[in-house]
A = this chain, B = another copy of it.
């Protein structure tokens, strides 16, 4: 028995690729996305009352998965190489590649929902929007299993002067104000401090950078490149990729 669903809309996101996209939406509060709903719905009616909610659930498809088979055990980043059952993780590589994220609703304009605090990649197909109901959905007392013992660690992130100068120059050419620069810098820090690298790239004390010593990801208009230095990360380049 199979069930077939058609997306109600698609995501336009600050995150353009898998690498760099946070594993959970709350990890990068300055991240943003716009959910553009398909115009054939009677949207003015279907969205009536939604503006009163501060948070929404998005149910979406992990459309950028490339795996052809699903493994029963996966390697979540926080377990640093150890494996655990796929159903006890939020891994995208699951029998049905369906994602679930609680995001903040900033505002609604026509058929566009402006969201913040997201872990969504550009082009993500969205199957459903539901209001976040604290009485039903908020369980602060819930035991978080293995994830409780593996809190997210954050590393310090700094900017090389040439990376910062490039951000300033190009944002200015794009006509964006100084608040945009400050927000984008915060978002870069929020994204890198979680260490977005896959486990296999993290190396060992003997061989700390087995494949590459610089990592790039696409964020808004920029290809952000960072290196690991001492106990933190240094943003070494921030060049536009859209121009």
Interface residues of A (CB under 8 A from B): 1-8, 24-26, 41-43, 45-55, 57, 59, 61, 72-73, 83-90, 94-96, 98, 100-102, 125, 127-148, 152
Contacts and interface: CB of A to CB of B under 8 A. Distances in A.
28 contacts: A1-B7, A2-B4, A2-B5, A3-B125, A4-B5, A5-B5, A5-B96, A6-B95, A24-B133, A41-B95, A46-B72, A46-B85, A46-B86, A48-B85, A50-B85, A50-B145, A52-B144, A53-B142, A55-B142, A87-B129, A87-B130, A100-B100, A131-B144, A135-B144, A135-B147, A137-B142, A138-B140, A140-B140
A54 to B, nearest CB: 4
Contacts of A24: 133, 135-136
Given A48-B73, A53-B145, A134-B141, 6 more contacts: A24-B135, A45-B72, A49-B84, A54-B143, A59-B59, A132-B139
A47 B95 CA distance: 12
Closest 8 CB pairs of A and B: A52-B145, A48-B85, A45-B72, A49-B88, A54-B143, A50-B88, A42-B72, A24-B136
Quick one: copies of this chain in the complex?
A: 2
Contacts of A132: 139, 142, 144
Contacts of A6: 1-3, 95-96
Contacts of A54: 139, 141-143
B142 A134 contact: yes
Contacts of A45: 72-73, 85
